[in-house]
Amino acid sequence: MSSDVSKADPAAHSRRGDEPMYELIELLFFAYRDFVGDADRLLEAYGFGRAHHRVLYFVSRRPGLTIAELLEILRITKQSLNRVLRELVDKNFVEIRAGAPDRRRRQLYATPDGERLALRLAQVQTRRFALALAQLGDWGEESALAFLSAMIDPQRRPGDAISRREPPKRAGQAQ
């Protein structure tokens, strides 16, 4: 009987995970390629790559983030982070300070140059989101947020990494 149901509704069959969702897989690959490509072109001027972007993004979004917290968010090794972080510090985009309660815990802060670059990168990527969401109508953003959140493994959710800062005001919202 269940095979009759899947023949009547091929989408139900796909949603069970029995068949590869090649169309969605390819669309995600291409969307990611273009989404990060916009930022990649801007980063090239600084001699930076995607790893620099990820570090700068989280450091600018969460001032005072510790190195241990950043390692947990990015799921990379300390060795991988050290090279990228050193370059960001040397070029004056990030600064490392001793922690207030525990001086052994080093905290990360974006410098004014780092904040400006992080904002420019976010603006470039926001333009791509805005163009795509405009095509989806009223429920586009809500659906996109729900879909992307659902794609994250529940065991690896970033917790409050996303919600630490107040969300930016939308057009037409009171400032």
Span 39-63, pLDDT tens digits: 999 999 999 999 999 999 999 999 9
Q: Percent of the chain beyond pLDDT 70?
A: 79
Structural domain includes residue 116: yes
Structural domain includes residue 56: yes
Structural domain includes residue 165: no
Structural domain includes residue 14: no
Rounded to the nearest 5 degrees, what angle is found at the Cα of 156, between the Cα atoms of 150 and 131?
45
Q: Which bin fits 137, alpha (ψ -120 to 50), beta or left (φ > 0)?
A: left
Structural domain includes residue 147: yes
d(CA 29, CA 8): 30
Instruction: Tell me the CB-side half-sphere exposure of residue 120, using CA atoms within 13 A.
Output: 14
d(CA 152, CA 163): 15
Structural domain includes residue 8: no
pLDDT digits (tens, 9 = 90+) for 140-155: 999 999 999 999 988 7
Output the pLDDT for position 3.
47
Question: Mean pLDDT across the chain, nearest whole number?
Answer: 84
d(CA 153, CA 120): 29
Name the residue range of residue 124's domain: 20-151
- The DSSP secondary-structure symbol of 172 reads T
Output the pLDDT for position 159.
57
Output the pLDDT for position 154.
84
Structural domain includes residue 174: no
Instruction: Answer whether residue 164 shows pLDDT above 80.
Output: no
Structural domain includes residue 75: yes
Domain count across the chain: 1
Q: How far is CA 70 from the centre of its chain?
A: 13
Least confident of 21-25, 69-73, 102-106: 102-106
Residue 56 sits in a domain of what CATH number? 1.10.10.10
